[in-house]
Chains A and B, each alone.
Chain A
């Protein structure tokens, strides 16, 4: 993984000092609330319902064990001994004290971490496939480019005050696990017919109030032009994106208003002036960043060693966990383990300090000291020997990490909702828990199979409800919390925006509506057909009829 040099350290330290000074001036009344707000947001600090919320960047979801231990320390020392993993691979602390935030940042800086641009109208944390570098279906490792983009976007002097937030995601695998089509810019690392490496550039995707699937503005951008092209896209957006209405300020609105062809032409025109300029990447530059992401010393192993196979045969519960919570690895005899943060009764994505320390220890003991955060809000041990899986499973169970539900209905992607967030229209955590409780029977849950369930507490769509196979959106009706259900959304290579099935539900009625939807699926599914495939085949009507049927 990337390691800071003296300059990286210095930049982060200087940002901490700048923020310390800004905080002190705010507390002393020298900066107004309106002046301080954008400055603190640009450093990940929100003012929430109960206390400030600090969002710490986990660049493209990569985390070293010693960094996770530091996060555990911060959770204990400055917060209530837990934190929350987000859908953009970051981590949030819900209860820090404003005056102590600069000290938290100073502690983070010691382990090469920061909160730079985790909020605000600037370029946010670059995200990628949580299995980058280890996935069996990977075509090209995106991580060197993620780091190059991270550095380019960090404190970019031209783009600190964009019309609105700006999110970039990079994917290098067959299956797009980074939701690139619903980002402001989505990049696919690809090879052209000549074997040259470059990017397919997708612009203008996004969720929020106006969910839009991004469109391709450049089908092949050679690697060396990455940063000059990004500069061109951002400059067009910075100059021409709307600033009069924050709900129409994302780049997706600009692209739609201009048409994708006109937008692409405008970018091309801007790019001609920047192309081949000083930001052009040389092979040696890319090689420098790629050198941080070379494979660890994997052992030569064979797949399915006997001690692993025999345990699979003996213990169905272990087999079930392996099936759902591990992923095939590019190296034989290894797996990536997904530690589920979707246990019933715990808010989705929440992780305790004790769990952080435990996972950090396992990353050292069973892997190479690295972990990943998935945008589905789970934690990943990327490199575990199959022969160690049984032990890892038992340890994971002891820490409440082993719910075998990855990719199932109860693996709910969920924003913090009205319990924490001041933007939310409705609470999400208790409703997510009610759904998890309703579908707690593992045989039933397994029978339902792969279902992405995404939950947002408001239109801002932090829980990505539009791209859930089944999505829930919290809405406010005359001061009461109601919940709208969407069906048919999907992420990945065939990203689709889900459709609302009808009038919204009172909180208590959501689990029953879910149950009716699942019953229709079980009645209608063809052999081997996943939930989303059935929804696509039969459409929404059978579900609507059942859910809204009048009782007699």
Chain B
């Protein structure tokens, strides 16, 4: 079990993440484990993964095309996006696409190089769960939600951009 942030609270979480090792091989996954697997593994053999007693979810790498997951989204208990480096911002676009184009409504989790300073933007583009990077404080990370109380753009959390709300309120 590990602590993660989900829907604004620190919760215990039992999902394991399947990642390739240095040689590109995937370790075996016990049948009763809840596991988040890479998109390639999911697309290669959905049926076997679903036949297990444990739950299966999918994580996207920055270069993955979320459209390849579109048909499965309604049935997935969780989708994650990996941030191998926090400076790689592709995952923010993936978050918006999953939420806004493919109408994904389930848990959307940010993995990898994720910490307090990134939480606000991740939340705005649609992520609602965050695995905070090892070595970074999780309790203080909650403050990341409140860094900004307003924003200019249309986002998943507030689709009506500020300029429209501004003029309407005049």
| A interface residue numbers (CB < 8 A to B) | 5, 7, 10-11, 14-15, 18, 22, 35, 38-39, 121, 148, 151-152, 154-162, 227, 235, 238-239, 243, 273, 277-279, 281-282, 284-285, 288-289
Looking at A157, A288, A289, the one whose CB has the most chain B CB atoms below 10 A away is A157
Contact indicator A14/B149 (Cβ below 8 Å): yes
Contact between chains at A151 and B163 (CB < 8 Å): yes
In the complex formed, the residue of B with least CB distance to A280 is B164
Query: What secondary structure prevails in chain A residues at the interface with B?
Result: helix
Does A161 contact B153, Cβ atoms closer than 8 Å?
A: no
Instruction: Please tell me if the beta carbons of A159 and B160 are within 8 angstroms of each other in the complex.
Output: no
Binary CB contact string for chain B from 120 to 160 against chain A (1 if under 8 A, 0 otherwise): 11101100000000000000000000011111111100011
Measured in the bound complex, the distance between the Cα atoms of B92 and A235 in whole Å is: 10
Whether the Cβ atoms of A22 and B167 lie closer than 8 Å is no
> Is B89 part of the binding interface, using a Cβ–Cβ cutoff of 8 Å?
yes
Name the contact of A157 in the complex, choosing from B94, B101, B120 (C-beta under 8 A).
Answer: B120
Contact B154 A278 (CB under 8 A): yes
The answer, among B89, B153, B163, B170, for a CB contact under 8 Å with A238, is B89
Bound complex: CA of A227 vs CA of B155, how far in Å?
A: 13
Interface positions of B (Cβ within 8 A of A): 86-90, 92-94, 96, 101, 115, 117, 120-122, 124-125, 147-155, 159-164, 166-167, 170
CB-based closest 8 A-B pairs: A161-B89, A157-B124, A157-B121, A151-B152, A278-B154, A158-B92, A279-B154, A278-B159
Q: What residues of A have a CB within 8 angstroms of the CB of B147 in the complex?
A: 14, 18
Which residues of B lie under 8 Å from residue A227 when comparing CB positions?
161
29 inter-chain pairs at a CB distance below 8 angstroms, sorted by A residue, are: A7-B162, A7-B166, A11-B150, A15-B148, A35-B115, A121-B87, A121-B89, A151-B152, A151-B162, A152-B152, A152-B153, A152-B161, A156-B152, A157-B122, A157-B124, A158-B93, A158-B125, A158-B153, A159-B89, A159-B92, A227-B161, A235-B93, A238-B90, A239-B90, A243-B88, A278-B160, A278-B164, A281-B163, A288-B170
* Complex contact B151–A11 (CB within 8 A): yes
Other 11 A-B pairs with CB < 8 A, given A14-B149, A151-B152: A5-B166, A7-B162, A10-B150, A155-B151, A157-B120, A157-B153, A160-B89, A160-B92, A161-B87, A243-B88, A288-B166
A160–B89 Cα distance when bound, in Å, is 7
Assembled-state Cα–Cα distance A289/B154 (Å)? 18
Q: Which residue of B lies closest to A156 (CB)?
A: B153
Do residues B90 and A288 form an inter-chain contact, with CB atoms below 8 A?
no
Q: Within the assembled complex, what's the spacing in Å between the Cα atoms of A282 and B115?
A: 37
Provide the bound-state CA to CA distance between A35 and B135, in Å: 13
> Which residues of B lie under 8 Å from residue A273 when comparing CB positions?
101
In the assembled complex, how far is the CB of residue B107 from the closest CB belonging to chain A, in whole angstroms?
19
Q: What residues of chain B lie closer than 8 Å to A160, measured between beta carbons? A: 89, 92, 121
Can you name the residue of chain B whose Cβ is closest to the Cβ of A11? B150
CB distance from B90 to the nearest CB of A (A): 6
Q: Kindly list chain A residues whose C-beta atoms are within 8 Å of the C-beta of B120.
A: 157
Task: Please measure, in the bound complex, the distance between the C-alpha atom of A18 and the C-alpha atom of B119, giving whole angstroms.
Answer: 12
B155 contact from A18, A157, A243, Cβ within 8 A: A157
Complex-state Cα separation, A163 to B46, whole angstroms = 33
Please tell me if the beta carbons of A11 and B125 are within 8 angstroms of each other in the complex.
no
CB neighbours (8 Å) of B94 from chain A are: 239
Other-chain residue from B149, B153, B155, B159 in contact with A10 (beta carbon distance below 8 A): B149
Contacts of A39 in B (CB 8 A): 117
Task: Return A464 CB to nearest CB of chain B, in Å.
Answer: 27
For B164, list chain A residues within 8 Å (CB).
Answer: 278, 282, 285
CA distance A283 to B121 in the complex (A): 29
Q: Is the CB of A288 within 8 A of B162?
A: no
